[in-house]
Amino acid sequence: MLTLYTALKFIVYAPEKERHIYYFFAFFVLMTVLSLITRAIYWVVHPDQTLFSGNNIHSLHFYFDLLGQVGTNALFIMIYSKDAEARLSKAMEELHETAIRDKLTRLHNRIKIDEILTHERERSIRYSHPLSVMIVDIDLFKNVNDKFGHLVGDLVLQKTASQIARSIRAVDSAGRWGGEEFVIILPETSSEDALILGRKILHSVPVNSGVDCMPEGVTVSLGVAQLEESDKINDLLRKADTALYSAKKKGRNRLEIFKQSIKNNEPAPSS
């Protein structure tokens, strides 16, 4: 019954693309069941004879058994192979996730952010679509570590990263850039439009810091820059970092947008 159940299950739940293969092997399994049934019937009809007596019925049983055993073995090998393949695929996915994720925050790591930024820059230039980058920095984070310890500091990083992940759109990418800094890549977004996300993060991070010993929470400063056609990746990041520095200099807990001064070609961040 178990063999029959297994065969019927694979017939019903066979994947669409591989259904013919499952049907083929299920046929062989059914041969085993049919062999057992014919043996039982023969034994009922001829109780005075053994199941193996008679050349014809013996030959029939032999071929049914042969087909059944081959099919059953092949089916279970295929099942095991599929299971092993699925486990290997899952392990590879987990390994890939480990390679591209920051262990503490589960955001993208710097390697993955570099890869995404390279792709988005090329796409932005090719199609003349806007691309902005936002750098988020936790204010006075060193004081958090010094006053409350590194475990609390790690919790602050996790909570801030979680809030950033909840705030961005599906098309955006966020990653930990290093220390207490995070980078957000904003495709199809001008620096002015990035203000919407920036304000959202500014208002949500202090409330959702989630650290019991820090009821006042933490604040963040943000710097935003929009890609120019002549910009390399480092140029774009440098501009965003310049805007971030301006936000820090003006009192923290604010957002600054990088603007290029036409008069003297000097960076002129503006809020």
Confidence of residue 265 (pLDDT cuts 50, 70, 90): very low
pLDDT at 262 (0 to 100) = 38
Q: Which of 164 and 85 is assigned the larger pLDDT?
A: 164
* pLDDT recorded at residue 148: 87
Q: What is the mean pLDDT of residues 183-210?
A: 87
Residue-level pLDDT at 123? 96
User: Tens digits of per-residue pLDDT, 246-264?
Assistant: 999 999 999 999 986 433 3
Q: What is the pLDDT of residue 212?
A: 67
Please give the residue that has the higher pLDDT: either 29 or 233. 233
220-226 β-sheet, strand order: 173-178, 181-187, 131-138, 220-226, 255-257
Beta strands (DSSP E) in 41-144 are 131-138
pLDDT at 263: 38
* Residue 37: pLDDT over 50: yes
Angstrom distance (rounded) from CA 253 to CA 221: 5
Number of C-beta neighbours around residue 47 at 10 A: 7
Q: How confident is the model at residue 120 (pLDDT cuts 50, 70, 90)?
A: very high
- The pLDDT score that the predictor gives to residue 51 is 47
Of 235 and 60, which is predicted with more confidence? 235
- 33: exposed, middle or buried (Cβ count in 10 Å: 0-12, 13-18, 19+): middle
Query: What average pLDDT does the chain have?
Result: 79
Give residue 270's pLDDT.
Answer: 54
More confident residue, 180 or 77: 180
Burial of 117: CB neighbours in 10 Å, binned 0-12, 13-18, 19+: buried
- Structure confidence at residue 137 (pLDDT): 97
**d(C-alpha 133, C-alpha 202), whole Å:** 16
Least confident of 8-22, 37-51, 75-89, 197-211: 8-22
Q: Give the length of the chain.
A: 271
- Has 180 been annotated as catalytic? yes
In which element (H, E) is residue 181 found? strand 181-187
Task: Judge whether residue 45 has pLDDT over 80.
Answer: no
Residue of 16, 93, 115, 180 marked catalytic: 180
The predicted-structure confidence for 138-191, as pLDDT tens digits, reads as follows 999 999 899 889 998 999 999 999 999 999 999 999 999 999 999 999 999 999
The better pLDDT of the pair 27, 255 is held by 255
**pLDDT for residue 48 is more than 80:** no
pLDDT at 266 over 50: no
Is the model more confident about 120 or about 7?
A: 120
CA 177 – CA 183 distance, rounded (Å): 6
Predicted pLDDT of residue 177: 94
Calpha distance 248→259 (Å, rounded)? 16
What band does 106 get if pLDDT is binned at 50, 70 and 90? very high
